[in-house]
Amino acid sequence: MKLITKIKLNTSKDDLECLQSMMETFNSACNYTSELIESSGVFSNFKLHKLYYYQIKSKFNLPAQVTCNVLKRTCQSYKSGKKGKLDLFLQTLLLYMMIE
């Protein structure tokens, strides 16, 4: 069962821009991971982690947990039949992302 909660954030303009930037970076990292999946033919989260974790983390300058979530979310999309470029995260607030 999946539980979805909507919350309203009272953010400053700077915080909102930072959040949007993080979500766009997350989306770009997912699209890049999708390209890696297509070219390698590897669909296992565990195998992708071993192959591409450091490459994705450094290319997009992501924290460790967010990098793991990029890999996991992209793999889930492939398992659910949504192949190709992903545009899943621009409208979604991901609470586990820490904005520094």
pTM summary value: 0.74
pLDDT digits (tens, 9 = 90+) for 52-84: 999 999 999 999 999 999 999 888 888 877 655
Mean pLDDT of the chain: 80
**The two structure tokens encoding residue 94:** 């991901």
What pLDDT does 18 receive? 86
Residues 6+ away with beta carbon under 8 Å from 16: none
14-28: pLDDT as tens digits: 988 888 888 889 989
3 state SS of 52: helix
Domain segments of the chain as ranges: 13-79
- Dist. CA 44–CA 18, nearest whole Å: 31
